[in-house]
Chains A and B, each alone.
Chain A
């Protein structure tokens, strides 16, 4: 006699210790196996695109801070690069180097949280994430020296950065760059070959290469599926063509690959930081840009390689002091497109891990 079972619908989220931000998954479960899943979001929608139409070009920068609040420097950078591309404004040399330094430090900080949260979801009760937060504190101290803030920096400006770094920044950065590779090796050693982690993450939540390209995935998610596509190499912005670094890629596109890609990217970021620190020229950090900037009529799409993927700003200007239209191409939103494909067929415990391995930030998804 066959046992009569029926699938039941469960909400995972929105207030849940493990969904990174307010995100809800309506999962249809058959026992422990997920047979269908629908993502629901919009809980953090603040209308940033509409608000930007009523701010000056410089006044939009604090709004961009709050998009991916774990990587504010990158958001700022993408926006000011788009505006500079539209208005054709040149940036002084020192400012370019400072921007690269801040962006790479931000990449390390964001990946630390991403990897830590992923391992926390796997169940390694807080130990890895606390170690990584300890390193991230060093980075936040550096950011506080430069901009006075720990989370939403508002540091970049159209035409440069808002202020030069104080004297204690350069030695502190030098010290950080010396000790960080040792810490990354420590994290690698702690858990990379752990049997349980391999069993939980290898082969789980595979995103095949064709699907990854078709859903316009970007960032570590795309690279872990085997596509060597990094905006810093294929369409270099700022001065990234002066630095030597590699693009780590994965092979299979499972959670484990995404975890490994992020760890390797942290190593490459430290490499870039070393080179930038050596080459940092003196000079001014901001070019002369009118306070109420009026770019010429036109439109531009400027994009960078943010820690979570390709962050792009589509900007339409009508020669007034506020943007006519600002659209944000949020990598987290687009990476989520394949979530249903990746999760169906796995169990509830895997759904949490797969979701954590994509590394999204709801501030970006919802805007």
Chain B
């Protein structure tokens, strides 16, 4: 059974190593701020005992005030999972650091989020639209599009 890791334990570990990065931690997920996202992600990937080597999915949700990007992480060795979230405020050109250098599976998924939600990712090697054609105006999955 894939165990969803106890968030309190992880939260305290992350807080130790990267003070000030955690914004909120609920029983099911941890919210980190976007400046420390990359550092926390590499910590989660490389620490023995955590070993989150598999990025299951990245999603973006539009909550009107902010965009929330959700990372579902899994460890194949230990069979446990974790949900890490981050938020960006502001609707014009929100940006986030890209995690492609850690998990290449993020490649197409980040492009999709850029295409449909408008959040661009710094450090992505090929940040362009993936489903819609070049020159399409707007980002359809946003709540204020149509």
Contacts and interface: CB of A to CB of B under 8 A. Distances in A.
* Chain A–chain B contact at Cβ < 8 A: yes
Interface of A: 41-42, 45, 47, 49-50, 211, 213-217, 227, 229, 234-236, 299, 301, 303, 310, 312, 314, 316, 324-325, 327, 329, 333-334, 336-338, 366-367
Given A299-B28, A334-B105, 18 more contacts: A42-B130, A50-B141, A211-B104, A214-B105, A215-B107, A216-B57, A217-B105, A234-B1, A234-B79, A235-B1, A303-B56, A312-B57, A312-B72, A314-B70, A316-B61, A329-B57, A337-B105, A367-B131
B43 interface: no
Interface string B113-146: 0001000000000000111110000001100000
Which 7 residue pairs of A and B lie closest in terms of their CB atoms, listed nearest first? A216-B105, A42-B131, A235-B2, A329-B57, A327-B59, A45-B131, A215-B105
Contacts, number: 84
B104 A337 contact: yes
Interface in B60-109: 60-62, 70, 72, 76, 79, 83, 103-105, 107-109
B57 A327 contact: yes
Interface of B: 1-2, 28, 53-57, 59-62, 70, 72, 76, 79, 83, 103-105, 107-109, 112, 116, 129-133, 140-141
Given A49-B141, A234-B2, A337 B107 contact: yes
B123 to A, nearest CB: 16
B54 A216 contact: yes
A42 B133 CA distance: 8
A47 B115 CA distance: 12
B108 to A, nearest CB: 6
Contacts of B108: 333-334, 336-337
B131 to A, nearest CB: 4
A325 B142 CA distance: 10
B61 A325 contact: yes
Contact of A213 (B1, B54, B140): B54
Contacts of A216: 54-57, 103, 105
Contacts of B2: 234-235
